Homo-oligomer: A and B are copies of this chain.
């Protein structure tokens, strides 16, 4: 188990953030996300990673690419309460957005993977998602495609020995592409940079309410999700919060918020019961439904639920609509993506033997 940080532990920091000092609490999103030293972003790796991201041959049935659930034409997720993987199987928890995911220090709702690279591998092998039985099968599938094999040999041979296609290099290429999936220049980012007209008066009131009711105790900094790599936490150290924090509310019952015990299933540490890795609020207006189980369908209701279950507060309808206006100003610019051409498996289907 990796060391965990909770919102409470950062209270000293976030108390400062409650002040009028917006540029400390929030930061405009950089256009480029940090990359680890052992996997720098290169042009060739990016081209390869994009092909892999859109390639359904990474799933056992040849039906599901990363983009099937993490839809880059939309909010980087699937708009559903639960993802649908291979064979129509449902995942347990809602798909989280891939946009700006590179700014997290741990992955999945429960922080059960430390890096984008690990996250990609986990989902490829998850029987309810892409359903590959093991790493060897993945490597064999990709190795069977000459256009991939050649690229891997070119990219991962020189500095790193004769690795070529491996489960490791597949994840490295995928993560390289994912690190470029950022949505900078939201109206709120432009506001932070000094354009006073970038957001509405309603949204400006919303920012103030967001700070005053203490949403920003946890939803702060670049990704409105707490620390980013290099700020307070290292990669692999997650930023967690108890949810629901005020137990026993009507909301908790109605939306089944306490049924899933969160991180404890993974860590086996009782103190992780109902602990969840902080989700980002960027693009939150276009990533309904909400929460780990997707039971809340609208953003205004999600705001009410959070105020009550996390902060013990009832918001006025004015407060709710102001905060929703602020949150809507967090929808960024989505860089245009050209659809990659996938390398062929010449004269042969790539999913032969698994076409069931």
A347 contacts the other chain (Cβ, under 8 Å)? Answer: yes
A340 contacts the other chain (Cβ, under 8 Å)? Answer: yes
Select one of B63, B337, B342 contacting A84, CB under 8 A: B63
Known A62-B79, A337-B339; contact A348-B288, beta-carbon cutoff 8 A: yes
Find out whether the CB atom of A80 lies under 8 angstroms from the CB atom of B355: yes
Task: Give complex CA distance A88, B355 in Å.
Answer: 13
Known A61-B80, A63-B84, A351-B80; contact A338-B341, beta-carbon cutoff 8 A: no
Select one of B288, B298, B347 contacting A299, CB under 8 A: B347
Task: Give complex CA distance A71, B73 in Å.
Answer: 15
- 0/1 interface trace, chain A 26-41, chain B, CB 8 Å (1 if under): 0000000000000000
Find out whether the CB atom of A336 lies under 8 angstroms from the CB atom of B338: yes
- 0/1 interface trace, chain A 214-238, chain B, CB 8 Å (1 if under): 0000000000000000000000000
Task: Give complex CA distance A63, B63 in Å.
Answer: 11
Q: What's the least CB distance linking A47 to chain B, in Å?
A: 13
Find out whether the CB atom of B350 lies under 8 angstroms from the CB atom of A79: yes
Find out whether the CB atom of B339 lies under 8 angstroms from the CB atom of A336: yes
Q: Which of A50-58, A102-110, A119-127, A171-179 contacts B (4 or more CB under 8 A)?
A: A50-58
- 0/1 interface trace, chain A 329-354, chain B, CB 8 Å (1 if under): 00000101111111011111111100
Task: Give complex CA distance A71, B75 in Å.
Answer: 20
Residues from chain B with Cβ under 8 Å of A84 in the complex? 61, 63, 88
Interface size on A, residues (CB 8 A): 53
Select one of B80, B81, B338 contacting A338, CB under 8 A: B338
With a 10 A CB-CB cut-off, give which of A74, A288, A297, A345 has the most chain B CB atoms.
Answer: A74
Task: Give complex CA distance A75, B87 in Å.
Answer: 22
Find out whether the CB atom of B73 lies under 8 angstroms from the CB atom of A57: no
Task: Give complex CA distance A353, B62 in Å.
Answer: 29
A285 contacts the other chain (Cβ, under 8 Å)? Answer: yes
Residues from chain B with Cβ under 8 Å of A294 in the complex? 355
A78 contacts the other chain (Cβ, under 8 Å)? Answer: yes
Find out whether the CB atom of B80 lies under 8 angstroms from the CB atom of A55: no
From residue 3 to 56 of chain A, which have CB atoms closer than 8 A to chain B? Answer: 51, 54-56
| Residues of A that sit less than 8 Å from B by CB | 51, 54-57, 61-63, 68, 71-75, 78-82, 84, 86-89, 285-286, 288-289, 294, 297-300, 324, 328, 334, 336-342, 344-352, 355
